[in-house]
Structure 1
Amino acid sequence: MMQKPSRLEYGSIVGERYRIVRTLGTGGMSRVFMAEDLKLPGKQWAVKESVAEPQMMKLIRTEAEMLISLSHPRLPRIVDFFEHPPSGAVYLVMDYIEGMTLEAYMKGYQGHIPQREIIPFALQVLDVLDYLHTRQTPVIYRDLKPTNIMLTPEMEFKLIDFGIARSYKPELNQDTVKLGTVGFAAPEQYGAGQTDARSDLYSLGALLLYLCTGGKYSEWTSGVERYIRGELPRHLIPVIRKLLRQHPEERFQSAGEVIEELRRSAEFQPAQHGASVSEPSNTLLEYAGTRVVAVLGVSSGSGATHTAIAVSHYLARRSCSVALVELHSTAKAFARLQAVVEGAPAGRTSSSRRFEVDGVHYWQQTSRADVISLLGGSYRFIVLDLGSGQDNERLEEFLRADYPLVVGSGAEWRAQEIIGLARSLQRHPQHKWNYCLPLAPLEAVRRLRKELDHEKVFALPFHSDPFERDGEMDQVLDELFRGAIPDTRKKRFGFLKRQR
């Protein structure tokens, strides 16, 4: 509990803007409240109140500025910071995240969450740790544990509670404050060393061990292997063991190194024809790591679905296992295509949401929870057809993709559609974005590259049948996916020819 009582209660107004609604949680030196925004009616925030000694205020201000600068889909935005000197309280205002903690989610499964969710979960956590650790001034989270991970209703994992996160300072020999949760914190958080990225990786190992033993263990002790669930992939044990080494130099040295290890050695369960996305198969295949391609149109009719299909079949011809996912619940394009492929009478729909064309697995009207399950499958690539909708769910999938593709018109009078999208999301990193302009002249490509100060702008040639190989289109996609795929070819499906 807080050593000093909070001055806040229901109806209290802080920062002349946020009205307290209720208490969300209480920690050692802080409380978190839900608050409504008086300037933005209907908007709710989480307000964290902490007590600080006067001599700590300068450090706290610096750390608050660091947290406000963070921008990642798996982190709550921290939008405001202010102080109340008379009480010694400081306040962080951040996104209110609806859902339940990972700890509560585990209790719902009596500690045994589905094994197919564990590695995709680990990769999500590693994604955000990699973001934090590779910033110009690395950020060390220092309190990775089940109660600090929120699971949203859409099956999205988010880190919460940055109360003891800190910037890594190479000139220091040790941390100023020793904090962390016993059982999940690295040994150096209580010793004489300074915490760094490897400390967070230790905590990830503790968290994975906790998940793999049904909540029984978070430290590697003698005989713990007997409690690791038998159905889990065996390659996880040496990964967890290395993460939990007592000495930092013996662990993985970066989140990226762990990601590559999991992608190189993991065995996943592939999806089977006609099966539900969430139903596992009994066959295990070697897995080289799933890459996600997200295709987003800037406006209706921009060609997002056509481009997503062309990209998927290009990847399949390169001997890649590919799932093409229709991630918008009202779309009808895949249903019409399935009827043609399966020769169904007009007006009759198939009971299966999954069908196959030339090795590409198509998934109709798929939810985010299904996408998370597919990430635990055998696919080398998952291509998300996001359509032209820009709701929060689809935008978040676009922002976290390995290959985000924006599809828009190359016409000069419509260039502002793409520029407007880029500017509206300028707080998010855009170095991975690829802009695809169907039928655009080279002058339009040069103009947009200059306007956006971005080199990854491509003109897509005329390509009437996205299932069919086209030499010019392949050249463009070779450049877009350079270094990510082998250069092999497969037989192709002539969709337009079958229509004739």
Structure 2
Amino acid sequence: MNTLEQRYQFISLLGQGGMGKVYLAEDTKLSRKKWAIKEIPLTGMQRKQVISEVEILTKLNHQHLPRIVDYYTDEQQQHIYVVMDYIEGTTLQEVLKQKGVMDWKDTLHYSLQICDVFIYLHHDLAEPIIYRDLKPSNIMITKQNEVKLIDFGIARSYNQEKQDDTIKLGTIGFAAPEQFLDGQSDHRTDLYTLGSLIYFAISGKRYDQHATTPLHHVAKVPQELSSIVQKLTKHDAGERYQSAAEVKHALYKLLNKHDNNKKEQSITPMNIGTVMISVIATHKGMGSTHTAMMVAHHLNKKGYKVALIEANKSNEFKYIEEDYDGKQHKEVQTSCFSMHGVTYYKCEPTIEIATVIRLQYDFIILDIGCDLNQAWMGEFRRSQLRLVVGSAATWKKQKILDFVQQYEKEETKDWVYCIPFAESDQMLEIKSELRSKRMYAVPSNPYPMKLQEKTIAVFDEVLDHLPLNQKKKRLSIWWLLVPTSLVLAGIYVMMIVRM
């Protein structure tokens, strides 16, 4: 088969295992977008079960899981083809092949992200899902150093009424005892596999020795980490940690303790060095979303990990995702999506800034728009950079003046004004009325994911005072110039001597 549904053109085989093959495919209808397509054989009694499980997986929506956007069966009902996000990166297995041993703090950085996935799968879904196959080859590390769990081949829905798993599956060395013995796997099964994974990565790829040899005996790690791993990998599930949230708390506590001992910055969820930028509009239609997108993608192009949050009720992000994924006129059931390296979070009642901050973004951009409710204005006040989007047009200029007057008791002198399409004489006039030095005319830039040179220059100036490691970059250039100047001086001296 070269194409699927006359749309997906198969390019190459990415990998294969006991549960099927995974292909790289190109979307012929959507700007040659690349997808991963998993081919799963359907046999006899398994057919209904596999299709049922795939339907459940299509509803999953989490930062650290690839989206499953569609699935098809062939005419003979012999295979099911699952279309999902193609994740660019390297598997943890490949990373370990190169490094041999993983630093324990790096391992826990990945483990915290896995805990977030397990919290979602075990507790946030109406029908909990047990992953059951956590191992290095199923963990993708992206260029942004994010974890993605890429294979749900043996995942299963948890049924409280069942006593046993229908099929006994798992990877030896990582799987929990109940995956091969009598009894049903549950959320604690996944916690066991996490403990096995931590031991494997830090100990130099030793299999299943955690039952007899504590981790701190085979690797240079805190004894507390060794205790955490031992508790995670208890034979009796009742003696393990009882939730991924409990494990996450223990890992955070351990990391913070050792960072504090070294007098380094604490990495508590609310203090990890994330810079917050808020964008508000003086009134509707000013383009706060467009401006927020330009800022986000500008920072991402500089190599920073960026999240953009829809902190208003416009539902613009829904239409942006539909347009990007080619799903016009369809309901897109996701709370976040990635586009050109930036993660977009849609406005939802359950969204919490703290949850996003825990993912260790360098920058979080809040698109507040003109929905200035008390909660979002609180975030605006706490932001390191506060951008106000308004108009300098003669018939709209009064709106920006009235807007600022509403907040005259605020620290408006620190606000930065972005005025789209403004002419120089308009900028001078409104600058004098607002008595603000930090005001920038933003040129026309129809495609906010790809900034033009003039726009880049403007946002470089807007963001100049933020911690963008500019001093470090300038220092590196300086040290390149120093040896060059010394070489030139040497040549000059030699010339004089010869004369």
Q: Provide TM-score, normalisation by structure 1.
A: 0.60
SS for the counterpart of 1:16 is coil
Maintained 8 Å contact 1:150/1:159: yes
- Within 5 Å, give how 1:143-292 maps onto structure 2: 143-225=133-215, 227-230=217-220, 232-267=221-256, 270=259, 283=263, 289-290=269-270
> Secondary structure of 2:247's partner?
helix
Distance 1:193 1:328, change over 3 A: same
Q: Does 1:427 align with 2:334?
A: yes
Query: Does the aligned pair in 1 maintain the 2:175–2:193 contact within 8 Å?
Result: yes
| Contact 2:216–2:222 (8 Å) recurs in 1 | no
Structure number with the higher helix fraction is 2
Q: Distance in 2 between the 1:286 and 1:296 partners?
A: 21
Q: CA-to-partner distance for each residue in 1:179-207, whole Å, 9 max, x for gaps?
A: 11111111111111111110000000000
**Which residue pairs with 2:34 in the alignment?**
44
Cα–Cα, structure 1 residues 291 and 82, in superposed 2: closer, same or farther, change >3 Å?
Answer: farther
- Matches of 1:89 and 1:199 in 2, distance apart? 29
CA apart distance, 1:419: 3.8
Which amino acid in the other structure matches residue 47 of structure 1?
I
SS in structure 1 opposite 2:196? helix
What is the distance in 2 between the residues matched to 1:289 and 1:298? 23
Q: Which amino acid aligns with 1:421?
A: F
2:50 is the alignment partner of 1:21: no
* C-alpha RMSD over aligned residues: 3.7
**3-state SS, counterpart of residue 76 of structure 2:** coil
- Relative to 1, partners in 2 of residues 1:303 and 1:290: Cα closer, same or farther, differing over 3 Å? farther
Residue among 133, 136, 139 paired with 2:122:
133
Per-residue CA distance 1:6-38 (angstroms, 9 max, x = gap): xx4xxx112332121111111013111111112
Whole-angstrom distance in 2 between the partners of 1:58 and 1:92: 15
Q: Partner of 1:55 in structure 2?
A: 45
Is the CA contact (8 Å cut-off) linking 1:437 and 1:458 kept in structure 2?
no
Structure 1 residues 420 and 226: CA distance shift in structure 2, 3 A: closer
Given the superposition, is the C-alpha separation of residues 71 and 437 from structure 1 closer, same or farther in structure 2, using an over 3 Å criterion?
A: closer
Query: Is residue 264–residue 289 contact of structure 1 (8 Å, CA) maintained in 2?
Result: no
Q: What one-letter code is carried by the residue in structure 1 that aligns with 2:130?
A: I
Deviation of 1:54 after TM superposition, in Å, equals: 2.6
Q: Are the structure 2 counterparts of residues 77 and 225 from structure 1 closer, same or farther at C-alpha, using a change threshold of 3 Å?
A: closer
Q: Which moved more, 1:50-59 or 1:89-98?
A: 50-59
Structure 1 residues without counterparts, runs of 5 or longer: 1-7, 272-280, 305-326, 332-363, 369-392, 399-403, 409-415, 447-454, 468-494, 496-500
Amino acid across the alignment from 2:317: L
Which residue of structure 1 lines up, in the alignment, with residue 385 of structure 2?
A: none
In the alignment, which of 91, 96, 111 is matched to residue 86 of structure 2? 96
Deviation of 1:87 after TM superposition, in Å, equals 5.9
Rg larger in 1 or in 2? Answer: 2
CA distance in 2, matches of 1:55, 1:329: 48
The SS at the match of 2:223 is coil
Q: Is this contact kept in 1: 2:130–2:158, CA < 8 A? A: yes
State the Cα distance separating 1:464 from its structure 2 match: 3.1
What corresponds to 1:386 in structure 2?
none
Going from structure 1 to structure 2, the CA distance change for 1:219 and 1:63 (only over 3 Å counts) comes to farther
Secondary structure in structure 2 of the residue aligned to 1:48: strand
How far did 1:173 drift? 0.8
Per-residue Cα deviation, 1:53-107 (whole angstroms, up to 9, x for no partner) = 1322221121111100001111111111111252611111111111111010111
Structure 1 residue 256: Cα displacement: 0.5
Say if 2:122 is the partner of 1:122.
no
Check 1:328–1:422 CA distance in 2 against 1; reply closer, same or farther (3 A cut): closer
Name 1:492's counterpart in structure 2: none
Identical positions, percent: 33
The 8 Å contact of residues 216 and 223 in structure 2, kept in 1 or not, is answered as no
> 2:242 and 2:121 mapped to 1: Cα distance?
14
Say whether the 8 Å CA contact 2:211–2:230 is kept in structure 1. Answer: no
Contact 1:269/1:285 (8 A) holds in 2:
no
**1:428, CA displacement in angstroms?**
0.6
1:141: how far off?
0.6
Q: Does the 8 Å contact 1:101/1:148 carry over to 2?
A: yes
- SS state at 2:37 partner: strand
Contact 1:98 1:153 in 2 (8 A): yes
Matched residue of 1:125: which SS?
helix
1:120 offset after TM fit, Å? 1.2
Q: Which residue is 1:358 aligned to?
A: none
Letter in 2 for 1:106: L
Q: What is the one-letter code of the residue matched to 1:427?
A: T
Sort the Cα spacing of 1:245 and 1:465 in 2 relative to 1 into closer, same or farther, 3 A: farther
**SS at the partner of 1:178?**
coil
Instruction: Tell me, in whole angstroms, the C-alpha distance in 2 between the residues paired with 1:291 and 1:140.
Output: 31
Alpha-carbon distance, 1:266 to partner? 3.3
Alpha carbons 1:50, 1:89 under 8 Å: kept: yes
Q: Give the CA deviation at 1:114.
A: 3.1
Partner residue of 1:76?
66
CA contact (8 A) 2:87 2:140 kept: yes
Residues 437, 41 of structure 1: CA spacing in aligned structure 2 closer, same or farther, 3 A cutoff? closer
| Aligned residue among 102, 111, 118 for 1:113 | 102
Deviation for aligned residue 1:250? 0.7
Q: Deviations over 1:365-415 (max 9, x none)?
A: 9745xxxxxxxxxxxxxxxxxxxxxxxx52xx45xxxxx683x7xxxxxxx
Residues 238 and 287 of structure 1: CA distance in aligned 2, closer, same or farther (over 3 Å) = farther
Question: 1:112-141: per-residue Cα shift (whole Å, max 9, x none)?
Answer: 223331221111111111111111111111
Other structure's SS at 1:259 match: helix
Structure 2 length normalisation: TM-score? 0.61
Structure 2: 5+ residue stretches without partners: 289-294, 322-332, 337-347, 354-364, 382-406, 416-464, 466-499
In structure 2, the residue corresponding to 1:81 is in which secondary structure? strand
- Alpha-carbon separation, structure 2, partners of 1:226 and 1:40: 51
Q: Report the Cα distance in structure 2 between the residues aligned to 1:23 and 1:437, rounded to whole angstroms.
A: 40
1:284–1:235 distance in 2 versus 1, CA, 3 Å: farther
